[in-house]
Structure 1
Amino acid sequence: MTAGAGVEVRGVTKRFGVDGRQVTVLDDIDLTIGMGEFVSVIGPSGCGKSTLLKVVAGLLDAEEGTVTIDGESVTAASRDKKIGLVPQSPALLPWKTVLENVELPLRINRKPGGSRQAGDAERLLSTFGLGHAVKKYPGQLSGGMQQRAAIARAFVFDPAIMLMDEPFSALDEMNRDLQRMALLDFWQSNRKAVMFVTHSVPEAIMLSDRIVVMAAHPGRIAEIIDVDLPRPRGEDAWATDEYRDLERTVRETLRAQMEKAHV
């Protein structure tokens, strides 16, 4: 076990049954995400990015290998509320207010001995720029605001790690920029271990400490690229030579894997 590891994946292999045969979706994955580290996972469609995240979250079982969260099994980490999960869609209950949606995990599954109070949910919403919307219903919010509420809900137990599966994929580019910067600002003041699945190269570079580029058929780690842009980061990072160099490197690496996936 690696000291200070938020997430430790060792030798994970995952197979699915397809048309009567077993297809290897993930092949011998090794990955460590340190406490306070933001790691993005990017790769061709079908390379197993979301499958890997679901294995780490405990939503899928691997045929081989192990996953530990903050030194515990995934089952124990889930029990201890150490995992925050943000899916692609907000999945807010339409008949409950925004505040009630964010409070819901506290009300139905309180962590034993935990100190979180309902008031924390309101403070979290204010942090994400939704203090004015606590009494509104999801249908009264834009898609970007709904996703921010979903992210606030995932943080409400103060988890050790955050697992985020393309949370901004349904947004237009302008809203996506706004939401990723809001997430970046919040994360930079509340460092968590984050595993962030995305198709967006700019998003991966702006948010991450490292970018995991995956290969497909079967899914495996092709390369891990360090993002050495200084923190804290703001929108001015887009204009730097360092950012442009990183973007070129990531795109070339990703393009090579996409070409291999279609050979």
Structure 2
Amino acid sequence: MSVSSFAHANAVHPDDVGVQVSNVVKSFGADDTRTTVLNGVSLSIKKGEFVSLIGPSGCGKSTLLKVVAGLSEADSGSVTIKGKSVREASRHKAIGLVPQSPALLPWRTILENVSLPIKINPSANAGRALRDPREILESFGLGHAINKYPAQLSGGMQQRAAIARAFVFDPEILLMDEPFSALDEMNRDQQRMGLLDFWQSNRKSVLFVTHSVPEAIMLSDRIVVMAAHPGRIAEVIDVDLPRPRSEAMYASDGFRDLETRVRASLRQVMEAARV
């Protein structure tokens, strides 16, 4: 296991950058009660890299994800996706977002839900390598469910469909905000490994928010530990476990060493917040 300093972890060659977050500051509230949620956050994500954000509640993980997604505007600083502004990247469907809840349209079948991004703003799809929705659903183990409606599927299967929908228009980056948080541990682990298998064959840039240390380690190339009040990057930890990964990795010495290291970093962050 190796631990990167913040500066070293962000030293990425410009041609390899998928996402660049530069000195982002974000506050909420009126002037007299204004709270700084993100304070000078900078982070580079390489093309094809899986990066997880982890930290205590209130450290700004989801806020940072929303800024990168273009759902919230930073007070200062900048975000670029392959050199383009977030607005331009969104217009060209370069950003795929998977929220905490599946957000599937209940009156559409699973196939229709997953096909929806292709039908919205079709001009933005010109020249894109669109994925076949049926093929994507088959890859996610949902081939039997393409003609079913969301209410006919379990929560885990609905979330899998939401992830499949984000993959279908081949975005530059996938943003995932605790997509498995509502699932029980057994189902969560199953969905996690399904995502890992699919990602390992596609290698999209991913920014993934989680509260689960094992989840962050199993999925990620790097783990960004965030501190709160104000939200900032406390440490970036390299996950040097070999890929492809399987459930057997949980029992490895390397995995246990990383889990100890990440939990120690989180403890340090939380203890510092209490001082």
TM-score (norm 2): 0.92
Distance in 2, Cα, partners of 1:210 & 1:6: 14
**Does residue 60 of structure 1 match 2:62?**
no
Pair 1:158-2:158 in alignment = no
Q: Whole-Å Cα distance in 2 between the matches of residues 242 and 18 of structure 1?
A: 47
Q: Distance in 1 between matches of 2:128 and 2:38?
A: 38
Aligned partner letter, 1:230? P
Equivalent in the alignment of 2:208 = 196
What are the superposed Cα offsets for residues 88-122 of structure 1, whole Å, 9 maximum, x if unpaired? 000001111000000111112222414556x7111
Q: Where does structure 2 lack aligned partners over 5 or more consecutive residues?
A: 1-12
- Work out the number of aligned pairs and report it: 262
Q: Which residue of 2 aligns with 1:187?
A: 199
**Deviations for 1:18-38, whole angstroms, at most 9, x for unmatched residues?**
684211100000100000000
> Do the aligned residues in 2 keep the contact of 1:163 with 1:196 (CA within 8 Å)?
yes
Which residue number corresponds to residue 42 of structure 2?
A: 30
* Structure-1 residue corresponding to 2:126: 113
1:3 shift after superposition: 2.2
In structure 2, the residue matched to 1:205 is 217
Structural mapping, 1:176-255, within 5 Å: 176-255=188-267
- CA RMSD for the aligned pairs? 1.3
After TM superposition, give the deviation of residue 257 of structure 1 in Å: 1.0
C-alpha contact 1:211 1:226 (8 A) present in aligned 2: yes
What is the match of residue 131 of structure 1?
Answer: 143
- Find the counterpart in structure 2 of residue 144 from structure 1: 156
**Identity between Structure 1 and Structure 2 (%):** 70
| Alignment correspondent of 2:108 | 96
> What SS is found at the alignment partner of 1:3?
helix
Q: Which amino acid aligns with 2:126?
A: G
Opposite residue 58 of structure 1, the aligned amino acid is G
Is the Cα contact below 8 Å between 1:237 and 1:243 reproduced in 2?
yes
Post-superposition shift, 1:255?
1.3
Return the alpha-carbon distance in structure 1 between the equivalents of residues 189 and 205 of structure 2. 22
Residue aligning to 1:80: 92
| Contact 2:128 2:170 survives alignment (8 Å) | no
Q: Aligned equivalents of 1:112 and 1:134: distance in 2?
A: 23
- Equivalent position amino acid for 1:243 in 2: F
Q: Is the 8 A contact 1:67 1:74 kept in 2?
A: yes
Offset from partner CA, 1:127-177 (integer Å, 9 cap, x none): 000000000000000000000000000111100100000000000000000
Rounded Cα–Cα distance in structure 2 between residues aligned with 1:44 and 1:260:
12
Instruction: Determine helix, strand or coil for the equivalent of 2:182.
Output: coil
Q: Out of 54, 76, 83, which is 1:42 matched to?
A: 54
Out of 69, 81, 101, the residue aligned to residue 81 of structure 2 is 69
Q: What SS class does the counterpart of residue 189 from structure 2 fall into?
A: helix
- Correspondence for 2:26 among 14, 21, 32: 14
Structure 1 distance, partners of 2:92, 2:229, is 35
CA distance in 1, matches of 2:51, 2:212: 13
Structure 1 length normalisation: TM-score?
Answer: 0.97
Q: Is the 8 A contact 2:118 2:125 kept in 1?
A: no
